Amino acid sequence: MNTVVNNTIETKFKAWLSSLLYGEFSRQYYIGLDIGFDRLNLVQMQSKADGVQLRAIASIPFKSSREALLSNPKELKLLLNQAFATHPFKGRKVVSCLPAEHIKIITIAYKPLDGQTEDEAVVVELRERYKSELDNLVVDFMSLRQEETDASKRDALVALAPRDKVLAYLDLLTEAGLSVEALDIGPAALTRLVCHTGAKLVPDFPNLPNVLLINFGTESSFLTIIWGRRLMLDRPVEFSEHRIFSRLKQALDMPEDLMISLLYDENTSARNNQSYSLEVKKMVTDILTPEINLLLQEINKTLVYMASKTRGKSIDQIYLTGRVSRYSGIVQLLREQLNVKVEILDPVEIFTANKSKINSAHLGTMPGMALTAGLALRGLPERG
């Protein structure tokens, strides 16, 4: 009897020691890092037996312009120290992406010749377009899912950035005390986030739905189609939070902080006065309906295009990310106009095991946070 007990204890101790040396304690999870227009966004995930969980998240405002921060590693280091001192980030390995103004993302069609790799075929197509300018660019690409009958013809999403901008960004992160594991591109990171979300929420996993992700940004927004696990389309649209604020300011001439309260239900006294709240919501919706209708037109054009590429198939789900997704009016109108389920994709809500540990309300829908979560998920299995 004692022998069995001792053997059991010894087995458990060895298992614990093994996990200490080779498992959870020694494994380093990447920190997703995004330098937004006015905030430094950081997310770190971790893999547990029951799936991926959020380990740490922070969105730190900075006083200088983004351009100034990008040339000041000391200021970036101070912001990082502030985040690391108050949130349970572990390690300094990061996956990041270049600021939007330093990278150009295009879609190209290419056709590999006999004996030619995909990389070679993409370079040939890019060389035809950019000539000698290509020598000064850093290029990354990802193949898009193909649904066309001509299997030899392929599409790719290509990211191009000036070599000096890439090197300067890598130097910035390194001089701020970080170890850069990879530079990713936004559509790839968001596709990863959608797939991990499916692993958490979809009962039919590993089968995943066909998703339209609407990523609302400050200056522009993007419509991204993820067909199962593969990115199929990523295109910008002019709809943005800035356009919404401009229309409200033109109509109501109110300061931005009041517009934020009206749009995102952050005015407690108004929310408690139901009749006033309904009246205000209707007024705001009436003002913004022309903008939302333009967005709907872009969505419908995208869905028609996708039907032409997929022999009439359509999406199963729409996810919304970014702060505009908290505006209940847009969610309601999209649900009314589009015959498909519309949900907010909030990485904090999806991946946090203990919600009480997250102190800031709506942190997961802050600008750039979905992208940052996607960066942090790089290399993690979708389930455990």
d(CA 328, CA 285) in angstroms, rounded, equals 10
User: How far apart, in whole angstroms, are the C-alpha atoms of residue 81 and residue 79?
Assistant: 5
Answer positive or negative: Cα dihedral of 240, 297, 350, 146. negative
pLDDT tens digits, one per residue of 228-255: 999 999 999 999 999 999 999 999 888 8
Q: What are phi and psi of 48, to 5 degrees?
A: -115, 170
Model pLDDT, residue 277: 67
> Looking up tokens 């910035």, which residue turns up?
172
Q: Please name the residues in contact with 284: beta carbons below 8 A apart, sequence gap of 6 or more.
A: 248, 262, 263, 329
> Residue 22: pLDDT above 60?
no
- Tell me what pLDDT residue 270 has: 47
Q: Is 115 left (phi over 0), alpha (psi -120 to 50) or beta?
A: left
pTM (whole model) above 0.85: yes
Cβ atoms of 145 and 208 closer than 8 Å: no
Contact between 283 and 327 under an 8 Å Cβ cutoff? The reply is no
Tens digit of each residue's pLDDT (9 = 90 or more) over 326-345: 998 898 889 989 989 999 99
Task: Rounding to the nearest 10 degrees, give the CA dihedral for residues 299, 300, 306, 307.
Answer: 160
Six-digit token string for 208: 């995943």
